[in-house]
Amino acid sequence: MSKPFISVQNVHFAYPDGTKALFGVDLDIYPGEIIALVGQNGSGKTTLVKHFNGLLKPTEGDVLVDGVSVRKQAMGQLARRVGYVYQNPSLQLFSQSVKKEVAFGLKLLNLPEKEIDETVDEVLNIVGLYDKKGSIINVGVTKEENKKKRKIREHTQKPNP
């Protein structure tokens, strides 16, 4: 069997206020594997996942992404490998226009402006929102179009294999 892409090794985590959220978590996720983290509110699912891309660092233990500790990788490096899509998309919208929102993650990767523009156009065409490129987010955008915005996030923040 191949090595895990993400390996969580005896991870403990406490928030700055002292709240302990993770207690000795071990988990291996292999390339191509689909998993579901299921649990009650407050059980640590989001806290755990935020360790995968460096949004949080373990208090104890380690998280390896492709064999390298998240402690040794910048968040920008990890963002190229591990994507994170919030459960509630309205919590992750930063820009006012559809075009700027789609371009946001690409700009964080320091891609050339021409590549960003081409990728934005390509993705908006894929999800059928090209004609909304200049639209203000959530103004005149239907529920179906909001679903398409989530797909845009998946396409533009998709981790490299």
Average pLDDT by consecutive 10-residue portion of the chain (161 residues)?
92 94 96 86 91 92 95 83 69 73 83 93 89 70 67 64 48
Single-letter residue type at 13:
F
Report the alpha-carbon distance of residue 104 to residue 81 in Å, rounded.
17
- pTM beyond 0.75, yes or no: no
Task: Please report the pLDDT score of residue 139 as a whole number.
Answer: 45
Domains of the chain are: 6-84 (3.40.50.300), 90-156 (no CATH)
Report the alpha-carbon distance of residue 33 to residue 48 in Å, rounded.
17
What number of other Cβ atoms are within 10 A of residue 90's Cβ?
9
Task: Please report the pLDDT score of residue 147 as a whole number.
Answer: 73
Single-letter residue type at 148:
K
